[in-house]
Structure 1
Amino acid sequence: MSTKTIEVKGMSCGNCVNSVTEALSSIDGLANVKVDLAFGTASFQEEKPVSEEEVKAAIERIGFTAGNFK
């Protein structure tokens, strides 16, 4: 399993963290989602390949801006 981190812009509270966590956790193939409000990032492990576009779309669908993968 590989671990990836993406920037998430626009989060301001715990509810934002919960929303992003839920959105990414719902993607088949992602596990161990951890969202860090202070750093504005979301990290996850890929159990199977998931496209960067799919991850970004899930973040943007709930009203946040997906930045670059780190």
Structure 2
Amino acid sequence: MDNNVYVVKGMTCSGCMAKVTNAVTSVAGVDDVDVDITTGEVTVLSDAPVDDRLVRAAINQAGYEVAS
């Protein structure tokens, strides 16, 4: 299983967590998403490689920014 971790800026509540989770889950190949509001870490779990650009775009479209 592949794990990719992204640090996302601007998440402050469970609503933020749900928006990011729903957005990233919609990306092809994503099996599960774990969001830690405290650290801003979003862990993407998948059995196959997931396109990093699509994950970043989904997070941006949800209204959040991935830290570089």
Return the offset for 1:49: 2.1
Post-superposition CA distance 1:24-66 (Å, at most 9, x none): 1111101121110001010021222222111100000111001
Hey, which bits of structure 1, 4+ residues long, moved more than 4 A?
none
Q: CA RMSD in A?
A: 1.1
Listed as ranges, the gaps of 5+ residues in structure 2 are: none
What's the secondary structure of 1:27's corresponding residue? coil
* Equivalent residue pairs, number: 68
Q: Percent identity?
A: 34
Scaled by the length of structure 2, the TM-score of the pair is 0.90
Relative to its length, the structure with more strand (as a share) is: 1
Map of 1:32 onto structure 2: 32
**The 10-residue stretch of structure 1 (41-50 or 31-40) with the greater mean CA deviation from structure 2:** 41-50
Return the offset for 1:6: 0.4
1:6-25 correspondence to structure 2 within 5 Å:
6-25=6-25
Map of 1:44 onto structure 2: 44
**2:37 partner amino acid:** L
In structure 2, what is the Cα distance between the partners aligned to 1:27 and 1:51?
Answer: 8
Scaled by the length of structure 1, the TM-score of the pair is 0.88
